[in-house]
Structure formats: structure tokens, C-alpha cells
Amino acid sequence: MTRLLVIVNHIESQPGLLTQWMISENIEFDLRIGGVSRLPEPSALSGYDGLIMLGGGYMPDETDRAPWLKAEARLSRHALETDLPQFGICLGGQLIAHVIGGDVRAQTGAPEKGYTWIDMTEDAAQDPVFSSIGKRAAFVESHVDRIVDLPDEATLLATSTACRFQAFRIGNAWGTQFHPESTGENIRSWDAEKLQELGFNKDTLLEQAEERGEDSRRDAKALLTAFLDVVRSRQQ
């Protein structure tokens, strides 16, 4: 059976839709919570077929506030070195970028919240994961930090009006700034006043969730299934 290591970095960034999708795909997953669960040593990744790292309100090198990120970075680096498939979401994607020498900056550029239109690059059409969706899709965003540069060996797969680096690939590692695991239910829990401070209206974001949510869920499922196909192909 296919087995994944899934790392939760913040209580507000849970696996969401990923849980039911992994179960429906007969995937066994080991869920570890940063700061609560002990993360395995890099050598233990030989017992897994893939790695998924979720989001959180930290910078990837902010090990004073989130000390487990140091161990998580070691896991990501080992996965890169051994070609183990990994998928990083928001902070998870930023952590991959940090590990490969990219530039990740706090509170940089315009924030993104709610269902945001993401445009795929030409390279996405040839990518084993991102070729599973069309040229444009809406996904949930929730960030004020971002990747501002990647090394030349990384391939840019998706971008948005406010944030250039929405998705990238290096080897068998994929990182996204957006949240394919999230839905409008996540938006319902957001603080309206804090959203207003960032320039967003919660009612508007919920209306957009009604309009875009179903298609987004379909595209997000396609991305995960394509990633799992990469994981399974490596097992053969």
C-alpha cells in the first residue's frame, strides 16, 4: 500500500480535502503535527512513498517560533536528494524553495485571500502534475509572505496577478502558494475585521467561494491524483 508522510505546521492549516481524497485513493498516511509530534529522521523516509507539507503562519527559516521547521527542512532536503516525491503547500512550498536556495520574504507584495485566479505557464502543460488541469483555475489563497525568487533549475508552473510564484517544480518536488486542500468553509472561519485590514470583504470572498468552489475542488482533486500517480509510478 502507498504510504505518505503528512506534516501539519499550524492548527489552522489542516489537511482538509486531502484527508478524504487520500482515503478514497487507498493511501495510508502518517500525520505528524509540528510542535506536537516528533518528526522522523530523514533516513526514515525510506519507509514512505511520498511527503506532503502543509501551510502555517511562519517563515520557513523561523525556527525560533517553530523549531520543528529545522527537522522538516532536513526531510525535504533528503527527499530531494533521494528523488522521493514531495508536495509543499503555502509554507510547505516556501520551505522547499528555501531548501533549494530560493528567496522567501515576509509581508512582501500584495496579500492574497480567498479564491484567486491562477494562470498556468507553458511549462505546466508538460508537467506530470499540473498538466492535469487547464490553463486557468481558481484556488484558495491565504498569505502575506511569498517566494520572490527561485534558482534557475526550478520550473515555474503557475502565477497570479499579485504573486508571480504560485507553483513550481524541481525534480520530484512540487510547491504551491495556493491551498488546493481548502474550501469556502475555511473562509467562513476567517476574521472579518482582519480581512478588512488587508483590503478584503468577507462577504465578497464567500460569494466568490459559491461561484468558484465546485470547479476549484475538481481541479484540486485532479492535482492530488496526478501527484499520487507520480508517487505510485516510483513504486513500480
25 phi, psi to nearest 5 deg:
-95, 10
Nearest to 175 by CA among 151, 199, 198: 151
Residues 6+ apart with CB under 8 A from 7: 32, 33, 34, 39, 51, 52, 53, 54, 72, 75, 92
Compute CA distances 147 → 40, 84, 98, 161, 172, whole Å. 27, 23, 9, 14, 19
Cell numbers 527527499: residue: 79
Cell numbers 502543509: residue: 54
Determine the 3-state secondary structure of 210 from DSSP. helix
Q: Which residues are catalytic?
A: 90, 179, 181
CB 40 within 8 A of CB 78: no
